[in-house]
C-alpha cells in the first residue's frame, strides 16, 4: 500500500527513522554500559517491539496493563513504576516484572512481602527537588507539592532493608546538562545510600536523539557514576527519544469556513488525537506550512468536535488548501496514539508503518465497536 492510499486520520510511523534513533541509543548502551528501556507511556506501538528489542534492554511501564504489554510483546527486561498499586495488581506484577519501583515507603511496606516472596527486585523513587523545567509545570515531577517521589526530609533509611535500587525522574524533553544538574542534587541528598544499592534508574525525559543533544555530556556523567559506584547497574527510560521525529499524523480537510480568517475543519482533532496540543500547550509542526503570516495565506486548523477550543493552531501556506486535500502533522509518533480518546464519537486514527522500501503496512484500523466497547 502506498502512503496516499492510507485512510485518514492515520498515524504513520517511519521504520527507517525509528531505526536511526535506536542505533543512537544502542551506541550509548555500548559505550557506557548503561541499560536503556523504552518508556511505553510515550510510545506503545507494539507492532515494532521486536525491532526495538534488537537494540534496547527492555521496557518500563506505568502500571499493570503496560507491564503486561511489554511482557507479552517484547519479552525483555520489564520494569514498572506507579504512584500506587492495588494488592491485586501487585500479585500479577511480580510474575511479569523484573523491577518494581515504589513511590513511597508506605507502598513499599504494603507490598514488600509479595515482592520478596516472588524474588522481584524492588526500589524506591526519590524526589531530588531539583526543577530544571520551564513553561510546563504539568510535566514537572519536582514542582512544589509534587506527589512523585520521596524527598530527603521524608526518606526512611531505617526501611531500606531489601531495597535494591533508587529511581528518579525529573526531566521532560531536556538535554544532558539538566541531567548533570539533577544528578548533582540527587547525589548530594541520596548519594550516601548508593553503595548499598544494586541499581540506579535515571528515569526519562532524556532527548538523546534530538539533533542538538549533547551525547558526550551524557556519556561523561554515566562514566562518572559507573566509576564512583561500580556496584550499580544504571538504567535510563527515554520515551520520546525512541520515536522522536519518526512519525506523522495524516489528516484530510473536510470543510473550510470563514470567520475573520479561513478555518479548515479536519478529520483530526487536538482534543481526541493529540491532546498535548491543548494540555502543554504547543503548536505541532505541519509539513509544507509556515508560521502565521509567513506565507501567502494564513488559516486556522480545527477539528469537527463540538468543543469550541478544539483548535490545533494557525498556519500559513503558499496557496489556499482545498477541501479533500491531505495535510501532515510532524513528530506524531510520541505521546499521540497512546493518548487518543473517542470524545464526541470521533473515530480514532488508523495506525500504519512506513517500511524502508517505501511500502506502507496498515497495522490497525478502528471503528464503531471500538467506540461502543468503551461505554456501557
Decide: 3 and 13 in contact? Cβ < 8 Å. Answer: no
* pTM to 2 decimal places: 0.96
3-class state of residue 9 by DSSP: coil
Q: Tens place of pLDDT for every residue, the chain, 376 residues?
A: 999 999 999 999 999 999 999 999 999 999 999 999 999 999 999 999 999 999 999 999 999 999 999 999 999 999 999 999 999 999 999 999 999 999 999 999 999 999 999 999 999 999 999 999 877 788 899 999 999 999 999 999 999 999 999 999 999 999 999 999 999 999 999 999 999 999 999 999 999 999 999 999 999 999 999 999 999 999 999 999 999 999 999 999 999 999 999 999 999 999 999 999 999 899 999 999 999 999 999 999 999 999 999 999 999 999 999 999 999 999 999 999 999 999 999 999 999 999 999 999 999 999 999 999 999 9
For residues 237 and 206, give the distance between their C-alpha atoms in angstroms, rounded to a whole number. Answer: 8
For residues 48 and 13, give the distance between their C-alpha atoms in angstroms, rounded to a whole number. Answer: 10
Q: Which residues does 12 contact at the CB level (< 8 Å), separation at least 6?
A: 3, 6, 247, 248, 249, 250, 352, 353, 354, 360
The structural domains of the chain, ordered by start, are 3-11+247-332+340-372 (2.40.37.10), 33-243 (3.20.20.10)
What confidence score (pLDDT) does residue 210 get? 97
What confidence score (pLDDT) does residue 133 get? 85
Decide: 148 and 170 in contact? Cβ < 8 Å. Answer: no
Reported in sequence order, the residue ranges of 15-95 that DSSP labels E, i.e. its strands, are: 35-39, 58-61, 77-81
Amino acid at each position: 500500500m502506498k502512503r496516499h492510499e492510507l485512510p485518514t486520520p492515520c498515524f504513520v510511523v517511519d521504520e527507517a527513522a525509528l531505526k536511526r534513533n535506536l542505533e543512537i541509543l544502542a551506541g550509548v548502551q555500548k559505550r557506557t554500559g548503561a541499560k536503556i528501556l523504552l518508556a511505553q507511556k510515550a510510545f506503545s506501538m507494539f507492532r515494532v517491539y521486536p525491532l526495538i528489542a534488537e537494540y534496547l534492554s527492555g521496557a518500563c511501564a506505568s502500571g499493570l496493563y503496560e507491564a503486561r504489554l511489554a511482557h507479552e510483546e517484547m519479552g525483555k527486561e520489564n520494569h514498572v513504576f506507579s504512584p500506587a498499586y492495588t494488592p491485586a495488581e501487585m500479585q500479577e506484577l511480580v510474575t511479569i516484572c523484573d523491577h518494581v519501583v515504589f513511590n513511597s515507603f508506605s507502598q513499599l511496606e504494603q507490598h514488600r512481602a509479595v515482592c520478596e516472596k516472588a524474588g522481584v527486585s524492588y526500589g524506591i523513587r526519590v524526589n531530588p527537588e531539583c526543577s530544571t523545567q520551564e513553561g510546563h509545570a504539568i510535566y514537572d515531577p519536582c514542582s512544589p507539592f509534587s506527589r512523585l517521589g520521596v524527598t530527603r526530609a521524608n526518606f526512611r533509611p531505617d526501611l531500606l532493608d531489601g531495597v535494591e535500587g533508587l529511581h528518579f525522574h525529573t526531566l521532560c524533553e531536556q538535554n544532558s546538562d539538566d541531567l548533570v544538574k539533577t544528578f548533582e542534587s540527587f547525589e548530594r541528598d541520596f548519594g550516601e545510600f548508593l553503595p548499598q544499592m544494586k541499581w540506579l534508574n535515571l528515569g526519562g525525559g532524556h532527548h538523546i536523539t534530538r539533533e542538538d543533544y549533547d551525547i558526550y555530556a551524557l556519556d561523561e556523567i554515566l562514566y562518572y557514576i559507573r566509576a564512583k559506584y561500580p556496584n550499580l547497574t544504571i538504567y535510563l527510560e527515554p520515551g520520546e527519544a525512541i520515536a522522536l521525529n519518526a512519525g506523522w499524523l495524516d489528516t484530510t480537510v473536510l470543510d473550510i469556513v470563514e470567520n475573520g480568517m479561513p478555518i479548515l475543519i479536519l478529520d483530526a482533532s487536538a482534543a481526541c488525537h493529540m491532546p498535548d496540543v491543548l494540555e502543554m500547550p504547543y503548536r505541532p509542526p505541519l509539513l509544507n506550512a509556515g508560521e502565521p503570516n509567513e506565507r501567502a495565506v494564513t488559516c486556522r486548523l480545527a477539528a469537527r468536535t463540538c468543543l469550541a477550543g478544539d483548535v490545533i493552531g494557525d498556519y500559513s501556506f503558499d496557496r489556499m488548501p482545498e477541501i479533500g486535500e491531505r495535510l501532515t502533522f510532524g513528530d506524531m509518533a510520541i505521546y499521540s496514539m497512546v493518548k487518543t480518546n473517542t470524545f464526541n464519537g470521533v473515530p480514532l486514527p488508523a495506525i500504519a508503518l512506513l517500511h524502508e522500501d517505501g511500502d506502507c503496512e496498515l497495522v490497525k484500523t478502528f471503528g464503531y465497536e471500538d467506540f461502543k466497547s468503551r461505554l456501557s
